Amino acid sequence: MAKKATKKEEKLNLDAVLFKCRDILRAAKNSGSFFEKRDMMLTLVFLRFLGEKYEDGLVVLRNKLAEKGLDPDDENIQKAFFDDPTFTDGTFALPEEARWSTIINKAAPELNVALDTALQAISETLPALKGCFVNGTFTQRNLAANDMKKIIDEVTKISHKTFGEEKDLIGRVYEYFLKEFAVNSTKEEGEFYTPHDIVQLIATVIEPFDGTLYDPCCGSGGMFIQSSELVKAHQGDIGLMKVFGQEKEAATYRLAKMNLALRGINHDLGGESDSTFTNDLHKGIYFDYIMANPPFNLSKYWDEKLNDDSRWIDYATPPTGNANYAWILHMLSHMRPFTGVAGFLLSNGALGDADTIEIRRKLIENDKVEAIIILPRELFITTDISVTFWILNQNKKGGRYHGRELRNREHEILFVDLRTWTENPVKGEQKKKVLLSSNQIQRVADLYHHWQIKGTDGKNFAEPELYRSVGIDEIAANNWSLVPSKYIEFIDHDLEIDYPAEMARIQKEMRELMIREKESQTMLEEAFKGIGYGIR
């Protein structure tokens, strides 16, 4: 019989580690609000990852020195290379007080001070990480020594060696604590995380492999992290990739800076956290690619100074009580003329809102909308609604693009409906959740790219219940609606039923059932007669 795994032998589970941290923080005194708990945990995880990368960098440095015949343990070599190490792979050279190995060796009562000392040292010695932390994060909360020691022990288990270098682990921790603590948090407050499969879908379709990438509501930076992984998968150089973003929430802005700095991604998130609408930190800059998951149906965004804003001067003023079309026009204003591409998510209501017909009409007539892809329900942890993946393109005239020869797609829009793609349930979640598999994502990308290329007949590009290419005249006839079900053919499977034959089958089964029941009743009466009882 196989031996049962001991606790130490069991494979570590990230959610289990975070669950323990959550329970420690819930029971602890002075642990603060949800946001303070979350920020404390994310800062600890960041310090842990930063320390781990530094330690890994030292191992690589030792090996390189040994390869060159130098003794890494020699006192002179130590002074020359290790007292102030410089790494060429993006690893930060940490001052001693900021190293995780230093922190975990502190006595429990000293941990709060040691952690704030580490943050201060990082801010003073590493300019790229300045502004990532709040002074006094740990000493102001002053968590009990025993509670802090327990959390540090748990965070030490969270390692890229265990859970995978390729994953956005800080984003995953962010998502976990958002889900577990923020029961009443809404996307209105800017607290949202885009699952990996949705980011992979957007990136695989619009292919941000070169140039500049922008996200006007970048959250924890997950779009950038996961896009960089796709770039590397296509043999791209993330060192040449420059990302731009903006985030309104101060804590989330700091998290994004941590996340991007940790990955060595060249970034510009502006000098502060602020609203993209009232203070566009990248005004006048055009980008090659835009990827975004804006807050759905954001109502509290308007300011009087937006009345004559240049972003909607050529269209119409978007509704002041719903930011959906304000996001669209903002992103359009930042797309590089003639080449820019944008892929973003919006709630399905934006496809046919009555109060946005004029903006939608001009977007379609100006050939900015290229594809509308409606997604399955249950893709997100914090909402179960079905949302739409929009693609805007500044060039639908054709030409060479990413190794493909594109045809002229003017006055055509591709509609895709994926609402039935719910066959991949995610286990272990507290609510129903599904995901898109890599094969499904690639199928969508192949479909879109095939529709674009020369040789495809846009007038006859369709598959019932999945996709269809539609001309502007038909869209105009539908009052400029972008609801896919108005254009994609849906088969009424009830019409496939042979009703006379089906009724005959049902009647035959009913007759056979009645005969069997009558036979059973007769057998029962005979049995009772045989023992001298009659049935009345």
Q: Which pair of tokens denotes residue 363?
A: 């977007």
CA 140, CA 432: separation in Å to the nearest integer? 39
Concatenate the DSSP letters of all residues of 264-278 into one string. T-EEE--SS---TTT
Domains of the chain, start order: 14-181 (1.20.1260.30), 201-410+433-456 (3.40.50.150), 498-536 (no CATH)
Task: For residue range 413-438, list pLDDT tens digits in order.
Answer: 999 999 999 988 886 665 678 899 99
Q: Which DSSP string corresponds to 61-87?
A: HHHHHHHTT--TTSHHHIIIIISS---
The packing angle between helices 14-27 and 34-67, to 10°, is 130
H/E segment holding residue 289: strand 289-292
pLDDT at site 165: 53
What's the rounded Cα separation, in Å, for the pair 97 and 100?
8
CA distance 117 to 114: 5
Q: How far apart are CA 451 and CA 448, in angstroms?
A: 5
* Predicted pLDDT of residue 1: 43
* Cβ-Cβ contacts under 8 Å for 266 (sequence gap 6 or more): 239, 241, 242, 243
Specify the DSSP class assigned to residue 322.
Answer: -
Tell me the pairing of strands 399-401 and 404-406: antiparallel
For residue 530, the model assigns a pLDDT of 58
Integer-rounded Cα Rg, in Å, for the chain is: 30
Six token digits for residue 190 = 């800017």
465 residue type, one letter: E
Tokens 């993006």 — which residue?
90
Q: How many CB atoms lie within 10 A of CB 185?
A: 17
Tokens 């019932």 sit on residue: 464
Nearest-angstrom CA–CA distance, 80 and 84: 8
pLDDT, position 234: 66
Q: Please say whether the beta carbons of 356 and 324 come within 8 A.
A: yes
The per-residue DSSP string of 338-374 comes to TT-EEEEEEEGGGGT-GGGHHHHHHHHHTT-EEEEEE
pLDDT at 536: 37
Which residues touch 195 (CB under 8 Å, ≥6 apart)? 175, 379, 380, 381, 435
Collect all residues with Cβ–Cβ distance below 8 Å to 442 and sequence separation of at least 6.
204
Which residue from 153, 146, 189 is spatially nearest to 33, judged by alpha carbons?
A: 189
From 274, 180, 263, select the one nearest 228 (Cα to Cα): 263
Residues 518, 272: Cα–Cα separation, whole Å: 84
Eight-state DSSP code of residue 118? H
Decide: 259 and 221 in contact? Cβ < 8 Å: yes
Burial tier of 269 (Cβ tally within 10 Å: 0-12, 13-18, 19+): buried
- Check residue 10 and give its pLDDT: 38
Token code pair at residue 231: 């770039």
Name 343's bridge partners: 291, 391
CA-based nearest residue to 276, from 330, 346, 335: 330
Q: How far is 192 from 163, CA to CA, in rounded Å?
A: 22
Given a contact cutoff of 8 angstroms between Cβ atoms, the answer to whether 347 and 388 are in contact is yes
Residues lower than pLDDT 70 in the chain: 1-12, 88-90, 164-171, 174-175, 178-192, 234-240, 382, 427-431, 492-499, 502, 520, 523-536
pLDDT value at residue 180: 60
Give pLDDT tens digits for 221-269: 888 887 887 777 765 666 667 899 999 988 888 888 888 887 778 889 9
Q: 3-state SS string over 409-430?
A: CCCEEEEEECCCCCCCECCCCC
Check if the beta carbon of residue 330 is closer than 8 Å to that of residue 290. Answer: no
Residue at 278: amino acid letter: T
